[in-house]
Amino acid sequence: MERIYFDNAATTAIDPEVFDAMVPFLKEHYGNPSSIHAFGRRSRAAIEQARRSIAGLLNCMPGEIIFTSGGTEADNMVLMCSVRDLGVKHIITSRIEHHAVELTAEAIAQEGTAKVHWVRLHPDGMPDMTHLEELLKVTEGEGVLVSLMHANNELGTRVDLSEVGVLCHRFGALFHSDTVQTMGHYPFDLSTLEIDFVTCSAHKLHGPKGVGFLYMRSGAGMKPMFLGGAQERNMRGGTENMAGIVGLAKALEIAYRDLEEHHRHIQGLKERMMKRLKEEVPGVSFNGDVSEQSLYTVLNVRFPEDGKSEMLLYNLDIEGIACSGGSACSSGSNKGSHVQEALYPDAEGASIRFSFGRFNTMEEVDRAVTALKRIFQLEPVKA
């Protein structure tokens, strides 16, 4: 049985071109980038080339890119260091942020170093902009960081970054967006967007795991979270993940080179899945926003099943289909999704996230629909 991978929001397969670009930095070019000899200089040049390439794609300055171990570290850094270094006394965020933001905000609130305000959400997961404005008004001038993700990893609901950024800056608040699910899927012009921090993870865009970056607007003034080395212009101690950084830059380069083609292809997969499920599986509905504005890689489906999402996930796995009940972190544990809990606490049925990537095909969508119909006994049992 050929397995189908519809869990691209959890992680993606490494692109062969990315892999090839990384290999020399695992084999030949092993010099420590901080060493001043030729081996070290070769490695340093590759890191700086990667930084320039990423900055070029996002229209920011190379010095504004800080390589990290991924999205979680970058998100933690923004919240923790902005409270510690930038006089942030209020964090405005939401209950459907990735845990890297939500739990960090909760930890900060518990320590008592800043107050956390949870912005109200519409049923599709969009922040209530009127409430956001009210929160910004009452905290104005007291040191505020707003952290709202660009697109939700479970629902695909996508926030308008320019609208939120303009509002935040109007009230003098800093704005961070976790763009882990959208980086490489949409163009970003960081020179015009009103945004102070953006976070990225390579493994969500066909790059390697364990590497990502924080974009920090020049002059933001945050200090490092990890001490012990002068790497990343004193912003992150620790010998750099050389091959990872090279792979990240390559992955982003490919993503932006072929962006329109990938968008069209993946959007087509999502639309076909939606259409077929609506027509052929009675009682299905969709969680979050599914309009054209939503993230085209994610489709969150609610099935009218009496049982639990875990049972449906298990049956899909037996059929050879990998998808998820929530984010990757919660799908392996017995806990339900905090996003579903925040938005649809009384919902019945089983919610499943299908997330598509450029290596998926229409044929796989059709096979998945057939498998679902078999599970729901709408299709004759396999011989």
Q: Indicate whether 102 belongs to the interface with ligand PLP (CB under 6 A).
A: no
Nearest 5°: CA angle at 331, between 330 and 333? 65
Residues whose CB falls within 8 Å of the CB of residue 168, separated by 6 or more in sequence, listed in order: 136, 144, 146, 174, 175, 194
**Pick from 26, 109, 328, 342: which binds ligand PLP (CB under 6 A)?**
328
CB of 178: closest distance to ligand PLP in angstroms?
A: 5
Query: Among residues 12, 43, 104, 327, which is the contact residue for ligand PLP, using CB under 6 A?
Result: 327
Per-residue x/- marks for ligand PLP, 284-323, CB under 6 A?
A: ----------------------------------------
Q: Which of 132, 149, 174, 316 binds ligand PLP (CB under 6 A)?
A: 149
Alpha-carbon span 337 to 145, nearest angstrom: 25
Q: How many CA atoms lie within 13 A of 198 on its CB side?
A: 28
Contact flag: residue 157 with ligand PLP (CB under 6 A): no
Using the rule CB under 6 A, is 71 a contact of ligand PLP?
yes
Number of residues that bind ligand PLP (CB under 6 A): 15
| Inter-CA distances, 139 with 45, 78, 85, 162, Å | 44, 19, 18, 21
Backbone angles phi, psi at 75, to 5 degrees: -65, -45
Active site residue 329: yes
Q: Which is nearer to ligand PLP, 102 or 196 (CB)?
A: 102
Q: Which helix (H) or strand (E) holds 90?
A: strand 90-93
Can you tell me the distance from the alpha carbon of 265 to that of 171, in angstroms, rounded to the nearest whole number? Answer: 40
Place of tokens 């590759």: 46
Sheet strands side by side (includes 298-303):
285-286, 298-303, 350-355
Under the binding rule (CB under 6 A), the answer on residue 365 touching ligand PLP is no
Site for ligand PLP in 194-233 (CB under 6 A): 201, 212
Of 156 and 212, which has the nearer Cβ to ligand PLP? 212
Among 4, 91, 180, 277, binds ligand PLP (CB under 6 A): 180
Using only C-alpha atoms, the chain has a radius of gyration, in whole angstroms, of: 21
- Shortest spacing between CB 84 and ligand PLP, in angstroms: 21
Binding site for ligand PLP (CB under 6 A): 70-72, 75, 98, 100, 149, 153, 178, 180-181, 201, 212, 327-328
List, by residue number, the catalytic residues: 329
